[in-house]
């Protein structure tokens, strides 16, 4: 009898293990699918373009200081480099000529905060929008291979890839967290340091900090600095702004990092009042910016993402109609409902920021006040940062909620312009500033720089929204005219349509 019971117990136990393993494998596959793993891939080789000696003639070129347009210039490009920028220059007899009359040449654009996830089709969206360099802040390991393929000629923007986000959690929570996300976890300082060494050995361009405890946060920043690798990312949940005086973190992933701590300092915005909160932000701004300047910290803007949150909360249906969702990986738009209460998609029903159906008047009002105040705090800080000349780079956080790869950078720099930057200052956040941050041989149109250029039909120094008027993109010396750029967009849209499970016609 005892043997029979033991036998059945073992059979049931083995069955439960098998069911658990099967479920976990299925769940992991579902998560990968949500990030875009199963979306049809565009044949990027169809857009391969050879290097050619190229001349853009009789055009206007953004000056090296970014303040004016220099007229009647001839730009010669060959073998991935700018050979010369000369007034009324001579064109080599064997050069392919682009008539730049009435057009404007600017450096290729840089989106300093994006997430490719598992959606390599996005690379074409960036190119089609004049983005020639992207910074994936929290990358999957396979994006290192994408970076290398682009270096070898694959069509796509040059890639800067940070490590997966690094957190501090205990063994059980950390193991589960790593399984269900693409984050990495360390149990203590020593393990965090070992992971930094592994990330650097793997070839990541930066270390992405996330929710580390304070000892691990300090240790990670110290070790990365000693190894010559920058850190970028989030503050620990217990971070105090006084830490800015001593931090070795050289880049913030969002202005939001500061806003979050200020809210924690202030307490409930609904209880204490929005006006009192704004006064708190303004009163703290100078000291915060003193420390940022003293430590030479660069700040990613990520305004659009923040502005989108309130719009999604107040009227998600209308907001979706203002976004080119047809170009976004459909798996990300549709989202997942694998965990009750956990929403990751963009559409109603799977969007974590939407107001729930028939919310109470009290709850709706409180959230409305909160998200409005959070957004305005960003703009208060931005205004002070502009006045004090903090180093700011335009980062859209593409891949996040209602932030469309490529397209979003133009909206991000528009938000910076509306926030108080001149068109010239705004353009610098997506060209010269990130090039200097990465020590990249680009960001300026002058001889010797990498040939990453955008030819515009309208002057962005007159209206920053003219960055959208793209005629031609030159990517590492390869020329992509308007017809080829449009073909890229169409190919991505068609691949998305072929993979779509939910009809989105009402939003188009």
Which pLDDT score, from 0 to 100, does residue 362 have? 78
Residue 408 is classified by DSSP as: H
Angstrom distance (rounded) from CA 253 to CA 4: 60
pTM: 0.93
Angstrom distance (rounded) from CA 196 to CA 495: 37
Helix, coil or strand: residue 136:
strand
Q: For residue 215, what are the CA distances in angstroms to 168, 183, 247, 419, 431?
A: 10, 19, 12, 36, 35
Which pLDDT score, from 0 to 100, does residue 23 have? 61
- Tell the residue number behind the tokens 């070992």, with chain if given: 194
> CA triplet 171, 174, 178: central angle to 5 degrees?
140
Buried b (16+ CB within 10 A) or exposed e, 363-397: eeebbeebbebbbbbbbbbbebbbeeebbbbbbbb
Angstrom distance (rounded) from CA 60 to CA 71: 4
Angstrom distance (rounded) from CA 129 to CA 470: 7
Whether the Cβ atoms of residue 475 and residue 108 lie closer than 8 Å to each other: yes
Which pLDDT score, from 0 to 100, does residue 121 have? 95
E strand intervals along 225-375? 231-233, 251-252, 298-300
| CA neighbours closer than 13 Å in the CB half-sphere of residue 485 | 24
Q: Domain ranges in the chain?
A: 1-34, 46-108+447-488, 109-443
Angstrom distance (rounded) from CA 312 to CA 139: 26
- From 343, 346, 345, 344, select the one nearest 317 (Cα to Cα): 346
Yes or no: domain 109-443 corresponds to CATH 3.20.20.140: yes
- Tell the residue number behind the tokens 């992405």, with chain if given: 208
Largest CA distance in the chain: 99
Q: Are strands 184-186 and 231-233 parallel, antiparallel or unpaired?
A: unpaired
Residue 378, sorted as left (phi over 0), alpha (psi -120 to 50) or beta, turns out to be alpha
pLDDT < 50 positions in the chain:
none
Q: How many CB atoms lie within 10 A of CB 208?
A: 24
Task: Domain 46-108+447-488: give its CATH superfamily.
Answer: Urease, subunit C, domain 1 (2.30.40.10)
For residue 96, the cross-strand partners are: 54
Residue 484, sorted as left (phi over 0), alpha (psi -120 to 50) or beta, turns out to be alpha
Angstrom distance (rounded) from CA 109 to CA 154: 18
Which pLDDT score, from 0 to 100, does residue 342 have? 62
Which pLDDT score, from 0 to 100, does residue 118 have? 85
Which pLDDT score, from 0 to 100, does residue 4 have? 64
> CA triplet 156, 162, 167: central angle to 5 degrees?
145
Segment 209-259, tens digit of pLDDT:
999 999 999 999 999 999 999 999 999 999 999 999 999 999 999 999 999
φ, ψ dihedrals at 68, nearest 5°: -140, 170
Report CA torsion sign: 152, 158, 159, 160: positive
Give the DSSP H/E element, type plus range, for residue 474. strand 470-475
Which pLDDT score, from 0 to 100, does residue 13 have? 67
Angstrom distance (rounded) from CA 480 to CA 452: 11
- From 484, 433, 427, 418, select the one nearest 459 (Cα to Cα): 427
Q: Are strands 96-99 and 54-62 parallel, antiparallel or unpaired?
A: parallel
Buried b (16+ CB within 10 A) or exposed e, 106-124: bbbbbbbbbbbbbbbbbbb
Rg over alpha carbons for the chain, rounded to the nearest Å, is 24
């Amino acid at each position: 009898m005892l043997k029979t019971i033991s036998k059945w117990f073992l059979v049931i136990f083995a069955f439960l293990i098998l069911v658990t393993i099967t479920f976990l494998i299925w769940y992991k596959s579902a998560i990968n699918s949500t990030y875009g793993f199963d979306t049809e891939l565009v044949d990027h080789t169809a857009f391969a373009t050879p290097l050619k000696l190229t001349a853009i003639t009789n055009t206007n070129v953004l000056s090296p200081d970014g303040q004016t347009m220099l007229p009647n210039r001839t730009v010669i490009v060959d073998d991935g480099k700018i050979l010369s920028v000369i007034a009324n220059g001579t064109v080599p007899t064997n050069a392919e000529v682009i008539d730049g009359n009435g057009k404007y040449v600017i450096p290729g654009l840089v989106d300093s905060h994006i997430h490719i996830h598992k959606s390599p089709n996005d690379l074409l969206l960036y190119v089609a929008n004049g983005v020639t360099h992207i910074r994936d802040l929290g990358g999957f390991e396979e994006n290192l291979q994408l970076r290398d393929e682009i270096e070898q000629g694959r069509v796509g923007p040059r890639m800067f890839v940070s490590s997966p986000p690094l957190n501090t959690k205990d063994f059980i929570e950390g193991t589960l967290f790593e399984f269900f996300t693409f984050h990495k976890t360390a149990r203590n300082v020593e393990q965090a340091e070992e992971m930094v060494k592994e990330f650097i050995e793997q070839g990541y361009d930066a270390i992405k900090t996330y929710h580390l405890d304070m000892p691990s946060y300090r240790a990670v920043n110290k070790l990365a600095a000693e190894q010559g690798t920058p850190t970028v990312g989030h503050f620990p949940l217990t971070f105090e702004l006084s830490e800015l005086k001593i931090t070795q973190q050289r880049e913030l992933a969002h202005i939001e990092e500061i806003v979050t701590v200020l809210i924690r300092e202030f307490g409930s915005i609904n209880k204490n009042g929005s006006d009192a909160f704004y006064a708190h932000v303004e009163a703290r701004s100078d000291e915060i910016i003193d420390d940022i300047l003293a430590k030479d910290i660069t700040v990613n803007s990520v305004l659009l993402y923040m502005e989108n949150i309130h719009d999604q909360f107040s009227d998600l249906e209308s907001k979706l109609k203002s976004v080119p969702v047809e170009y976004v990986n459909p798996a990300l738009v549709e989202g997942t409902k694998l965990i009750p209460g956990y929403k990751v998609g963009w559409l109603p029903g799977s969007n974590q920021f939407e107001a729930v159906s028939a919310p109470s008047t009290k709850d709706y009002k409180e959230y409305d006040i909160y998200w409005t105040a959070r957004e305005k705090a960003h703009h208060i800080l931005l205004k002070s940062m502009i006045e004090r000349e903090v180093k700011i780079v335009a980062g859209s956080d593409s891949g996040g909620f209602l932030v469309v790869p490529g397209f979003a950078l133009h909206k991000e720099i528009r938000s910076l312009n509306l926030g108080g930057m001149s068109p010239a200052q705004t353009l610098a956040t997506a060209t010269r500033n990130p090039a200097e941050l990465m020590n990249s041989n680009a960001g300026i149109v002058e001889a010797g720089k990498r040939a990453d250029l955008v030819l515009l039909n309208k002057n962005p120094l007159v209206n920053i929204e003219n960055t959208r008027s793209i005629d031609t993109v030159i990517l590492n010396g390869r020329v992509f005219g308007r017809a080829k750029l449009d073909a890229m967009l169409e190919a991505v849209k068609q691949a998305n349509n072929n993979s779509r499970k939910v009809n989105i016609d009402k939003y188009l």
